[in-house]
Amino acid sequence: MFELADQPIDSAAWRTRLAHGAAGALVVFEGWVRNHHLGRPVTELEYEAFDAHARLEGEAIIAEVEQDYPGCRVCCVHRTGRLRVGELSVWIGAAAPHRAAAFLACRQVIEELKRRLPVWKKEHHPDGATEWVNCTAEAATSRLSPETYHARQIALPEVGAAGQAALAAASLLVVGVGGLGCPAALYLATAGLGRLTLADGGLVELSNLHRQILFTADEVGVAKATAAAARLKAHNPLARIEAFATRVTPLNVRTLVAGRTAVLDCTDNFTARFLLHDACRAAGVPLVSAAVHRFEGELTVYAPGTPGCLHCQWPAHRPAELDATGDCASGPVFAPTVGVLGVMQAAEALKLILRTPGADFRHTRLLNLLDASVLAVERTANPSCPVCGQPAIIRSDRTPSRPDVILTEEAFVALGPVRTAWLLEAGETARAGFPGAECVLAGDVLRLRELAAAGPLVLACRSGVRSAALARLLRAEGMGAVFARAVGAT
């Protein structure tokens, strides 16, 4: 409920109106008229609002907050007319089952009122002078200015004023506000983007806090997109942040992607990954994708004009089958791995916008935090890929047409005697579980091409991430009899 009042606010009466049986916490904000502003003494204030517009905007703000925090009831009353020092100018109350939601809802109302409510105030000074102040404009400019906030970034020759203007005109979408999306969104929100949209249908969970750095323990159970947007606005009040507490689906993916400068895939499942990839490809929007397994991660930028696509990397797989082989949402993960990959995603997205000279979007990068190594693997298009060169189709499933890249134990046994290659990493020796395997440095793609050209080949490594990535690379080059196995399958 939102009201404008031309009489003193009865805070006790408003608290009573918010009381209800399901409420376990009430958070109240009271704004008082103070005796100074920007170094000048003030004797009293006059508030004037565009009545109809202010009421509509105020009701919209309350409705949005109550939708973001289910079970929370919010009331706000804003004074109009003449007020003396010490009088209440605004009263906000948020009643919720738990204190965390009440605190967050109250804070969100405060911030949105400052930005959106069409209210002017006239300051009266002791010398008889008066001055009108636009409250919404003052809220946007008094605390910081874009020039100051981004000064050190603008000083970079690769950015400059023109680059900062390009960032201000950009619209980015981050899908998934988890371990990857939190650091990515944080650095994007502070970069000066014109519009940043967060989409995630999940809730904050206690088991995720060790790596999802935008959230606190008090926010467990709150929608991740909403909580993240509130935190990002606190970091950069100048940023325009939108939050959609929804998962990506075949019904909404085109709408989410349309008109974006770039999209970040920070999801934890292949179904969403394929949907985003195909929608971005159809719309000509660059996609910055990352995936993590334990201490290792993979970063790929699918930009128009670059070779290869997600279907080249994972030919003949149904996304549901891929999700069944490894659940990123519940599997073990080293928190700094997702942190580093998320920051790298933000960096790649900013380079796309800035058209940074020398930026390389033609390689997939494999990161290993155990030995602090990064392997760049050049992507190539699979000549027989059903998607490359054809209009992309948005779908969540596909019909397999050739053997899986990742072998199950049964499939491995069914192959019979087959050559194997163990991918060596820094300081590593041959794996005892793969007798007869040839040891090949993970970065020696030339040797792997030679082995694959001679017949069926199974690649293996400690985690399975690099072996799968390199097997997909070789398949994309037309070598269909290359497979991968993880250590746990031996």
Q: Which of 312, 328, 385, 461 is catalytic?
A: 328
Angle at 260 between CA 254 and CA 264, to 5 degrees: 85
- With residue 465 as reference, give the H or E element that holds it: helix 465-476
Q: Encoding tokens for residue 239?
A: 């940023």
Quick check: is 388 catalytic?
no
Q: Are 461 and 385 in contact (CB under 8 A)?
A: no
Sign of CA dihedral 325, 329, 335, 340: positive
Residues 6+ apart with CB under 8 A from 172: 188, 193, 195, 196, 197, 260, 261, 262, 263, 264, 349
Angle at 189 between CA 196 and CA 375, to 5 degrees: 95
DSSP state of 108: H
Parallel, antiparallel, or unpaired: how do β-strands 88-96 and 73-79 relate?
Answer: antiparallel
Over the range 7-35, which residues count as b (16 or more CB within 10 Å of their CB) and which as e?
A: eebeeeebeeebeeeebeebbbeebebee
CA distance 10 to 486: 67
CA distance 437 to 460: 9
**Active-site annotation, residues:** 328
